Structure 1
Amino acid sequence: MTNRFLILIGFLVGLMGCGNDKPPLDNPSQGSIIVAADESFQPLVTQLTEAYAGINPNTHFKVVFKPEQEAINMMLQDSARIVFTTRELKPNERAVLDQRKIKGATEKIATDGVALIINKANTDSLITMAELQRIFSGQIKQWGQLSGANQHSPITLVFDNNNSSNLEFVLKTFNIKDVTGLRIFTTHSNREVIDFVRKNPSALGFIGVNWISDSDEPLSVELARDLRVMGVSGKVNPTKRDDYFQPFQEDLGMQRYPLRRPVYILSRETHPGLGGGLINYIARDAGSLIIHKLGLWPRIPYDRVINLTK
């Protein structure tokens, strides 16, 4: 009788197990999720996710780099848990999560800048926002039309992708609706923009600054070789070199560089999971040190406690 009872219990437990084939939920110290990110943030996102996985060995991030809109769509379609982006969700995108009763989360983690890069042979490394406005409105087409120019070839504007955050940000900044009359060349990545500019003295490239701002990273140093990063002035008629600023840390943090932009993490997570763990690490923990190391301005500086003893 006892044996029959035990067999019956085992059979019932087996049936219950068969109906529960869902994988266990991830948590901040265990599990695997997909992360989508705009390609301009590849160095930043790679270092942040690798650092988190390094201190939490039971976690894994599959990072997918896409143009910004495609990365956001991945998150909305539940193909990615979180996404690194330069903007918050638009009302129609927010509605997608609302329809599924997903509250989601938006966390600003840093201030970034779009860097303007030119070939080292081009010594005209200063430009104003007014001049950029005239370039994107088609009024300026030649380098020789800029003050201090040492060449007179056509200006080729180089971006990483037709749908990239770099291009969208610049067009929005200068309120440009139609680019059909502009000399624009698109590649497939920020790295390819760098390679194109290095080979073409007439090119003006637009990249995420984290690609070239980490002086401790050999790849970053190599990519910055044979390039100039332009100084940009918000003044219409700047009178001195100090009126121009580059997209590096202090000028981003002090809001002096005109082409600065926020960095957000957008999440669709519905439980205290691995995505939330990564966000907390970046926004409120040592992750801000990595942001700082990469030359960006972290939203919340990492507090360093120093004990002095006699």
Structure 2
Amino acid sequence: MKNRLLALLVCIFTFFLSCKKTEKVLVDDPQQGEITVAADESFQSVTEALTQRYMALNPKTKINLVIKKEDLAFLDLLENKVRVIVMSRDLSEEEKKAYKDKIDMDIVPAKFAVDAVVFVVSKSAARESVSIEEISDLLVSDNKNIIFDGTNSSNLNFVAQKLDKKPSELKFSIINGNKNIVDEINKHPEKIGVISLNTISRPYDTESQELRNSVKILPVISNKKAVMPEIATIRDMSYPFSRTLYFLTNEAYYGLGNGMIRFSCQQLGQIVVQKEGLQPYNIFRREVQMR
């Protein structure tokens, strides 16, 4: 009898210990836990800044940032390999259906910043601007004089969507990495590189400013007007290749993923976005005139 009672107590103790361990592994909340976030290289700097600031404010959290092409990050989200991703383009109808089927949640884009796709050339290049029509023509030319940072990337996806084309219909050169594109165009003045504004927008980052100063940023001609990619023109979206960055998550509860997203979209996170040299989506500079 005593042996039976002892065995029963051991089983009960083991059961509760097992449940406690499981709870510790599976449950996270905005102040504790570990998740993985995926972002395209074009948004690496701003995403890194936001996640690091969030972890500094919440020391019991760990956010692993994985740099991955935009399309592949979306697939990882569907497969629950990551908790949150950063996107810049609109999802296709097929992708919306896949999200609904796999995640079984409504799509709620959490917009947090305005970035831009930037066209750059060597400082020695004769070209001073590029029109939307020229970009469209160059992307069907066998010369492949426009360089992107790869297929499945955010820059290629966004430009293709802007031109109402599929990426597979376009002709272009590929150099992996926004920074490597800058190096390549400086060797070939006839080439146009396509990078993100976030790659060269950080005003207090030496590497970012060196990259910015090593190239010529082309204004894009739209409706006979040349527009430079800068805060004023991405704020009002007058620069034709302005784009809104947003988070998507597969987290169905208020956990660490949604906590990080909320932080990024509120005042402290928006200040981080502003320090990255991008336009915060949810706060704007206010000017007060005293009379």
Q: TM-score range by the shorter chain?
A: 0.7 to 0.9
Alpha carbons 2:103, 2:250 under 8 Å: kept: no
Query: SS in structure 2 opposite 1:295?
Result: coil
Give the Cα–Cα distance (whole angstroms) in 2 for the partners of residues 260 and 156 of structure 1: 22
C-alpha distance in 1, partners of 2:233/2:112?
Answer: 17
- Of Structure 1 and Structure 2, the greater helix share is in 2
Q: Which residue of 2 is the match for residue 84 of structure 1?
A: 86
- Paired residue for 2:258? 276
Q: Following superposition of structure 1 onto structure 2, how do residues 61-210 of structure 1 map, counting pairs within 5 Å?
A: 61-100=63-102, 102-103=104-105, 105-138=108-141, 156-177=145-166, 182=171, 184-210=172-198
How many corresponding residue pairs?
284
Equivalent residue letter for 1:14:
T
- Give the deviation of 1:94 after TM superposition: 3.3
Paired AA for residue 149 in structure 2: D
Q: C-alpha displacement at 1:174, in angstroms?
A: 2.2
Cα distance in 2, alignment partners of residues 223 and 130 from structure 1? 27
Q: Secondary structure at the match of 1:247?
A: coil
Deviations 1:243-292 (A, max 9, x none): 32221211100221011112110010022111111111111131111212
Correspondences of 1:230-309 after superposition (within 5 Å): 230-235=218-223, 238=224, 243-301=225-283
What runs of 5+ residues in structure 1 fail to find an aligned partner? 142-153
Structure 1's 63 and 172: CA in aligned 2 closer, same or farther, altered over 3 A? same
Q: Secondary structure at the match of 1:199?
A: coil
Moved over 4 A (4+): 4-11, 177-181
Report how far residue 98 of structure 1 moved: 3.1
Change in 2 beyond 3 A, CA 1:98/1:21 = farther
Cα contact 2:156–2:167 (8 A) shared by 1: no
TM-score, normalised with respect to structure 2: 0.87
Question: Using the alignment, how far apart are the partners of 2:233 and 2:58 within structure 1?
Answer: 34
Deviations 1:127-169 (Å, cap 9, x if unpaired)?
A: 222322332344xx8xxxxxxxxxxxx6721100112121122
- Output the CA distance in 2 between the equivalents of 1:177 and 1:19: 50
- Name the CA distance, whole Å, in 2 between partners of 1:62 and 1:101: 21
**Structure 1 pair 91–251 and aligned structure 2 pair: CA distance change class (3 A):** same
Q: Distance in 1 between matches of 2:8 and 2:119?
A: 72
SS in 1 for 2:282: coil
Change (3 A) 1:106 1:172: closer
Question: Cα 1:178–1:66, aligned 2, differ >3 Å: closer, same or farther?
Answer: closer
Contact 2:274 2:280 in 1 (8 A): yes
Aligned partners of 2:147, 2:15: CA distance in 1, in Å? 61
Q: Distance in 2 between matches of 1:178 and 1:31?
A: 38
Counterpart in the other structure of 1:150: none
Contact 1:40/1:208 (CA < 8 Å) preserved in 2? Answer: yes
* Identity among equivalent pairs (%): 28
Q: What RMSD, in angstroms, separates the aligned Cα atoms of the two structures?
A: 2.8
Give TM-score scaled by structure 1 length. 0.82
Shift of 1:55: 1.3
List runs of 5+ in structure 2 lacking aligned partners.
none
Equivalent residues of 1:27, 1:273 under 8 A apart: yes
Amino acid at match of 2:81: S
Per the TM alignment, residue 61 of structure 1 is displaced from its structure 2 partner at its CA by: 1.1
Please state how far the C-alpha of 1:42 moved relative to its aligned partner. Answer: 1.0
Contact 1:136 1:174 in 2 (8 A): no
Q: Which of 56, 59, 62 is residue 61 of structure 2 equivalent to?
A: 59
Q: Residue in 2 aligned with 1:43?
A: 45
Does the Cα contact within 8 Å between 1:102 and 1:270 map onto a contact in 2? no
CA drift at 1:121:
0.4
| Residue 18 of structure 1: how far off its partner (Å) | 2.9
C-alpha separation in 1, matches of 2:102 and 2:20: 23
